Amino acid sequence: MIPWLAIAVVAVLAAVALRQYRRAGSLQARLTATTAELERVQQSCALLAPAGVVQRALSEGLDEMAERKIVTVMFTDLVGYTAMSEQLDPHALARILNGYFQRVSDAVMEHRGRIGTYLGDGILSYFGALEPNPWQCNDAVGAALALRAAIAAYDADLQKEGLPAVAVGVGIHRGPGLAGLIGSRERREYTVIGRTVNLAARVQALTRTHSADILITEAVREQLDPRFRLEAKPATPVKGIAEPVVTYAVNS
């Protein structure tokens, strides 16, 4: 009877081991699925905020992310977008807009900047908000010049497809701003807000007045490397600003 008892014990132990193995396999599969889901969530969050910002938000809380910083803000806008949107069919308009958005994003990211907010056809970008960057003005102007070249190449592609060429206006200003995850409980995005952003948008609007595609303020010029060629423009009143604003066109 003893051999049969031993066989029975071994069988029971084997059955227990098999259940544990299967359970471990199930747990591993769940862990793998959870890890993949977390990676997808992180990738989705990265569309709204950089990875480092997301990690800080998880550890410190959303409201603790807000802080005042000196940043360089670039505001980009499509020239003649309203007329274009009325003339083109939706598919062609989407094709043009998506290409424009991508080229702005590429130019900004390649120069250590970050896209903050899409405002219709307007794009707010910032430099120096995520980490200290003493060259943020150079980076912003470099991004604007890279965008100029990218748009010229893009226009050649659009014309080959029988689509209208596009033009952009860029305004750049440097100053204090509130940087953080801003928004409602349902949706927040990492961006910069404040007077500096407002003035950058006003300077962008002056590109039509001064017939220039890239304009910067005196605050940017003071920090800019002398290798950039600038052309001073007359001081011009802008909405919401007490004193007329002096700007400089960036030639190269």
Domain spans in the chain, listed from the N-terminal domain onward: 1-46, 62-250
pLDDT at 246 over 90: yes
Q: Which tokens belong to 219?
A: 């605050």
Task: Mention the CATH class of domain 62-250.
Answer: alpha beta
pLDDT at 161 over 70: yes
> Can you give the pLDDT at residue 187?
81
> Can you give the pLDDT at residue 58?
46
Looking at the chain, the whole-number percentage of residues with pLDDT higher than 90 is 57
What kind and span of H or E run contains 14? helix 2-46
Of 248, 233, 224, the closest CA to residue 141 belongs to: 224
What single-letter amino acid sits at 72? T
Query: Which 8-state DSSP code applies to residue 175?
Result: E
> Can you give the pLDDT at residue 11?
59
How many whole angstroms separate alpha carbon 161 and alpha carbon 142?
A: 29
Q: Which residues contact 199 (CB under 8 A, 6 or more apart)?
A: 173, 175, 217, 238, 241, 245
**Weakest-pLDDT range from 26-30, 174-178, 179-183:** 26-30
Strand-strand pairing, 245-250 and 214-217: antiparallel
Q: Which residues contact 24 (CB under 8 A, 6 or more apart)?
A: none
> Can you give the pLDDT at residue 200?
96
> Can you give the pLDDT at residue 64?
58
How far from the centroid of its chain's Cα atoms is residue 135's Cα? 18
Of 198, 233, 225, the closest CA to residue 137 belongs to: 225
What single-letter amino acid sits at 15? A
Segment 10-38 mean pLDDT: 62
pTM of model > 0.85: no
How many whole angstroms separate alpha carbon 7 and alpha carbon 230?
A: 91
- Residue located via tokens 């970050």: 114
